Amino acid sequence: MTSLAAKLQASLAALSTFGIVMACAHQSAFDEEPEDRPDQGDRQVVDGGAPGTASNVDASPEAGTCSVSGLCVVSAPIDETITLTSVWGSSDHDIYAVGSLATILHYDGSKWEQAARSEPDGAGAFTLHSVWLERPDDVWIADGRRLRHGSAWKGPTQADWSYFDYPKGPLPVAIRGRQNTVWVARGLMSAPNEQPLDRFDRWTEQEPTARETFGASGATLNALAVSSPDEAWATGTCPSGHCVFRMTRQAMDGSASTWQLEELDSRSARRLFGIWGDEHVVWLVGEGGTLRRLDKGQSLERRFDFVDSPVDSDLRCVFGFSKDDVWAVGEDSTVLHWDGTSWKRLETPFDDASKGPNLYAIWGSSPEDVWIVGEGTVLHFGGNAQ
């Protein structure tokens, strides 16, 4: 039995609550548990670290250090022992990043602050796997076996959280939404009779409402993307292979509607950790530099196209602003940018290091305001990558 399996078995015997996963906001779950093991992944393990929380990573450059590409190290109240797994915001002055040891950071436009840790029922601190918000007063976080919800940031010690517990099955690994619909992908451990994708209406009172479940039973999902109020995408691993699901809202008689799910061919033999899409295109990223693209104008073929990659390192997350302005991040400080023609690797402040930190999530309020997080690291891009 591996050390991870032994820890898992012991923890399951001792606990009846939460687990560990990560997602590419951002999201994607990882090869291993964040505490022991993104873009991906029923485990009840108290946090004891994070994926790649590694002594092998060289010391980070000082805050303010920038690469020639315009990527800069930003000061944040964490050290190399904390891995940030997800980043998302409602604007350029309301941004959250979450990660190992129940870490929650908030950026107000001038500085990052860390929220006081909240451990309901004394259950312990767990890795927070995903964060999503569209409004300042509607913050969703994947927290072990729970969903955590908060109102607007009022300072490090003023958080008001409510929780929704999953009693069993895969753990929430990614959260994305649009308007009055929020999607939660669940992964890490498959459950033969569990559908791994949930749709909720907004959080009201103390819990989310109107839960519906979708997806192939036994699938483990890693990442989500919401391209419009009427369309969402998810990727992960299914009994049939590395899968991609598309969910579309179908109008019915009167004002009612229903959601339809279909599976598309990812054409990938490797694990997929991240997904992003808009009205024109959908991108997948994954193991070994995997890049796949679906042009929605050709979506009747129901399969993704191969795209050349400039790297062979794992890509953990993908995020874009348009079909010609897409970013991907991954292991060993990998940052890629798509300009509509090809993917290019960007210089980072870690390029002179023998081993740079793994990067797990990316989000931006605009093409001139891009945030990247990972192992003990927060990066910002304030230029123009075109």
In this prediction, residue 211 carries a pLDDT of 85
Domain with residue 337: its CATH number is: 2.130.10.10
In this prediction, residue 253 carries a pLDDT of 64
pLDDT band with cut points at 50, 70 and 90 for residue 205: confident
In this prediction, residue 338 carries a pLDDT of 98
Mean pLDDT of the chain: 84
Q: How far is CA 28 from CA 25, 51, 203, 360, in A?
A: 7, 12, 24, 8
- Strands 171-178 vs 181-187: parallel, antiparallel or unpaired: antiparallel
Give the range with max mean pLDDT: 138-147, 161-170, 300-309, 329-338.
329-338
> Could you report the per-residue pLDDT of 328-351, keeping only the tens digit for each?
999 999 999 999 999 999 999 999
> Could you report the per-residue pLDDT of 80-117, keeping only the tens digit for each?
999 999 999 999 999 999 999 999 999 999 999 999 98
Which is higher by pLDDT, 278 or 53?
278
Place of tokens 């958080």: 159
In this prediction, residue 22 carries a pLDDT of 38
> Could you report the per-residue pLDDT of 345-357, keeping only the tens digit for each?
999 999 999 899 9
pLDDT surpasses 50 at 156: yes
Is residue 351 packed enough to be buried (19+ CB in 10 Å), middle (13-18) or exposed (0-12)? middle
In this prediction, residue 26 carries a pLDDT of 38
In this prediction, residue 217 carries a pLDDT of 77
pLDDT surpasses 60 at 372: yes
pLDDT above 90 coverage of the chain, percent:
60
Answer yes or no: is 386 within a domain: no
pLDDT (average), residues 165-192: 86
Q: How far is CA 317 from CA 17, 153, 198, 236, 363, in A?
A: 28, 26, 21, 13, 9
pLDDT surpasses 80 at 248: yes
pLDDT surpasses 50 at 307: yes
Is residue 122 packed enough to be buried (19+ CB in 10 Å), middle (13-18) or exposed (0-12)? exposed
> Could you report the per-residue pLDDT of 3-39, keeping only the tens digit for each?
333 333 333 333 233 332 334 743 434 433 333 333 3
In this prediction, residue 123 carries a pLDDT of 66
pLDDT (average), residues 122-142: 90
Domain that holds residue 125: 3-381
In this prediction, residue 21 carries a pLDDT of 34
pLDDT surpasses 60 at 154: yes
- Residues 123 and 17: beta-carbon distance below 8 Å: yes
pLDDT band with cut points at 50, 70 and 90 for residue 240: confident
Across 46-55, 146-155, 300-309, least confident range: 46-55
Answer yes or no: is 219 within a domain: yes
**Number of domains observed in the structure of the chain:** 1
In this prediction, residue 197 carries a pLDDT of 92
pLDDT band with cut points at 50, 70 and 90 for residue 228: very high
pLDDT surpasses 60 at 272: yes
pLDDT surpasses 60 at 51: no
pLDDT (average), residues 198-225: 87
In this prediction, residue 306 carries a pLDDT of 96
Which is higher by pLDDT, 19 or 367?
367
Which is higher by pLDDT, 60 or 1?
60
pLDDT (average), residues 166-187: 91
pTM: 0.86
222: left (phi over 0), alpha (psi -120 to 50) or beta: alpha
